[in-house]
Structure 1
Amino acid sequence: MTAAPGLLGVRGLPASWVLAAAAFGGFSLLLPVVPWAIAQAGGTDALAGSVTTVFMTTTVLTQLAMPKLMHTRGHRQLLIAGCLLLGLPSLGLLASTAPPVVLGISAVRGIGFGMITVAAAALVAELAPARQLGRATGTLGIAIAASQMIGLPLGLFLAERFSTAPVFVLGALVPTLGLVVAARLPQVRPAPGTVHGRPPLLALLLPTVAIGAGAIAYGGLTSLLQIAAVGLPVPIALATLSASTLVGRFGAGSLADRIGAGRLLP
């Protein structure tokens, strides 16, 4: 499954894919490296794991506020803010990796990540024709998985071969580069009335359980594998993880358009 030619001509859609890839690339560069740096500095495994916990906590809290923010601020403004909050605070890690500093920076970066994860997917849904929404979303997933396939092993490689400093710099630079394409994003807000009403709780149960289980497994594996599997080819393992994610997403968009995302999820 690739992006249909018609989708490439939709104003703002390719730019949204590129911006999301840059943001997730910066996210994945630091994801295994920051906990590893904490452990290398003598921190406990619990402290190393708490870095990702704090990051994802502020991510989730931000995501809960996003429907209202998108309605008032628009997708583009939130994506720009998200890139800045996710990227620039990473430079603070050059000055100190003391636990309070790292946890504070992780909290701020999590806010930016929460903005990007929701606004990027929502913007794709607003821009893509309804009949090609699955393909458009699938292409977004492919762009994200491809950037993670590079970022996860590259961050560890640079940290082990040289130091964590270039990783922290790249972690700031890559998401910020997403701002280059932000000018090509249209100013879009959800249509009036789309933020009101709540879907039935039962309808949310399956996707919530599925994505929650996946997020727990993915977060634990990517954050702590380098600490637990000393002497093993962890960068290769993480690259394989992202590559398999890319394969899964490759056909998911097309299948969702054919049989429906609800049937595909189980």
Structure 2
Amino acid sequence: MTTACETTTALVTDRLLDARFVRLLAMVFGSGLSIYLLTSVVPLYLAANGAGGIGAGLSTAATMFSAVSVELLITRMLARWGYQLVLGLGLVLLGAPSLILLATAALPLVLAVCIVRGAGLAILVVGAVALIADLTPPTRRSEALGVYGVAVGIPAVIGLPLGVYLGHVIGFDALFVLAAVTSLAGLVMLIGLPATAGTEEQHVQVLGGVRRSGLLMPSLVFAAVTVAAGISVTFLPLAVAPSKQSMVATALLLQAIAAPLARWLAGRYADRIGAAKLLAPVLVLAAIGAGSLVFLPSPVAILIGSVCFGSGFGAAQNLTLSLMYNRVDRSRYGQVSALWNLAYDGGWGLGAIVFGLVVSGVGYPAAFAMTAAVVAVAVLPAVKASA
């Protein structure tokens, strides 16, 4: 009988960037481009066809709500159908519905497309992260997750502005086709990847045994940081005068660049020093960055704060995920991936909703100070974990 240890050894190679890992990264990059090319374009498409701001907001909400809902199901899907089939389904759900937009701009149908694409996105992010844990040696897992962070970060940096630019240059229809192709092309990359999620029994309950397995603390810590991330991206443009929007764009670009770089660097050092020891310092950095927004509209505070927060946020992504994987056996890899992505998407959405309610009563400086305090509180359990 093949043991779990033997199965894991069969999947792992000494080299980090072997052929399977490179194919996985290529798939992740293409699917990332597919989602980010249309993130800002679909709201523009709806607005251009008379849906207005309400329709634009609903399109983003539909994508995120769908992703959060489906993330609860993916561990069972991986256990039943394996990596190749589930990831292939995710690529199809993310890419193919974009072609429906060629025929209609009706709000109900566009929202349906967003819901299906959100499901595909959820499948891909959860499945890919779980597969990385299977494909890479435990001694280099943090570094592998850092490389993965770069692969998913670059599409965000180039895809958001490129989508808006191409929408004006080549038109919406050509862009919808491009978004479909970049995702569906990833189906070729699935060849040679592990077909199954392991021969041992998989833990399929996302929330089951979270406290006993030591996953609760890093999940909540990461959620605290994603709360601040969702707030900064959503409300910074609204908190600054229209005449200074170029500065806001620069700040968000710096944050988007800093995050994947910090995620990669954190991975390299976490394998040598330990993820728990690095977590508290990067949370302090993130809290400083979030707190800098109290000094709006100071350009220096905003730009430096964006770099600090982006660095802390990116590093925290790697360190919390590495810490979670280090605390469980292989049967819980799918659970870790789903739980971490729930913290990501849930914290992002919850932060934006609560902040919107709070800011109307206390104003932007006080609300941003509260945001920084949420991140700062997360430092305490991180310090305890490193002791």
Query: TM range, normalised to the smaller chain?
Result: 0.7 to 0.9
Superposition CA RMSD, Å: 2.8
Q: Is the contact between residue 32 and residue 156 of structure 1 (CA under 8 Å) also seen in structure 2?
A: yes
Which residue number corresponds to residue 72 of structure 2? 64
Instruction: Describe the SS at the equivalent of 2:224.
Output: helix
Report how many aligned residue pairs link the two structures: 258
Tell me whether 1:91 sits opposite 2:99 in the alignment.
yes
Deviation at 1:126, TM superposition (A): 1.0
Which residue identity is paired with 1:199? V
Which residue identity is paired with 1:214? A
Larger Cα-atom Rg: 2
Equivalents in 1 of 2:47, 2:250: separation in Å? 21
What residue ranges of structure 1 are gaps of 5+ in the alignment?
Answer: none
Deviation at 1:241, TM superposition (A): 4.6
Which residue number corresponds to residue 51 of structure 2? 43
Q: Is the contact between residue 14 and residue 137 of structure 2 (CA under 8 Å) also seen in structure 1?
A: no
Deviation at 1:26, TM superposition (A): 0.6
Q: Output aligned runs, 1:192-231, within 5 Å.
A: 192-195=200-203, 197-200=208-211, 202-203=216-217, 204-215=219-230, 217-218=232-233, 220=234
Q: Is the contact between residue 153 and residue 235 of structure 1 (CA under 8 Å) also seen in structure 2?
A: no
Equivalents in 1 of 2:270, 2:84: separation in Å? 26
Tell me whether 1:250 sits opposite 2:260 in the alignment.
no
Q: Is the contact between residue 142 and residue 268 of structure 2 (CA under 8 Å) also seen in structure 1?
A: yes
Deviation at 1:140, TM superposition (A): 0.7
Which residue number corresponds to residue 6 of structure 1? 15
- 147-156 or 98-107: bigger deviation: 147-156
Which residue number corresponds to residue 104 of structure 1? 112
Deviation at 1:205, TM superposition (A): 1.5
Equivalents in 2 of 1:105, 1:71: separation in Å? 27
Deviation at 1:259, TM superposition (A): 3.4
Equivalents in 1 of 2:235, 2:64: separation in Å? 14
Deviation at 1:101, TM superposition (A): 1.1
Matched-pair identity in %: 33
Deviation at 1:221, TM superposition (A): 7.1
Deviation at 1:240, TM superposition (A): 4.6
1:15-67 deviation digits (Å, cap 9, x = unpaired): 11111111111101000111122222232323211111110111111111111
Q: Is the contact between residue 152 and residue 239 of structure 1 (CA under 8 Å) also seen in structure 2?
A: no
Give the TM-score normalised by structure 1: 0.86
Q: Is the contact between residue 149 and residue 238 of structure 1 (CA under 8 Å) also seen in structure 2?
A: no
Summarize the Cα distance change of 1:70–1:165 in structure 2 as closer, same or farther, 3 Å threshold.
same
Deviation at 1:185, TM superposition (A): 1.3
Equivalents in 2 of 1:231, 1:90: separation in Å? 34
Instruction: Describe the SS at the equivalent of 1:74.
Output: helix
1:119-158 deviation digits (Å, cap 9, x = unpaired): 0000001111000000111111111112222221211111
Q: Is the contact between residue 74 and residue 188 of structure 1 (CA under 8 Å) also seen in structure 2?
A: yes
Q: Is the contact between residue 143 and residue 268 of structure 2 (CA under 8 Å) also seen in structure 1?
A: yes
Equivalents in 2 of 1:113, 1:221: separation in Å? 24
Which residue number corresponds to residue 306 of structure 2? none
Which residue number corresponds to residue 42 of structure 2? 34
Instruction: Describe the SS at the equivalent of 2:197.
Output: coil
Equivalents in 1 of 2:149, 2:55: separation in Å? 31
Equivalents in 1 of 2:230, 2:134: separation in Å? 25
Equivalents in 2 of 1:56, 1:263: separation in Å? 32
Give the TM-score normalised by structure 2: 0.60
Which residue identity is paired with 2:126? V
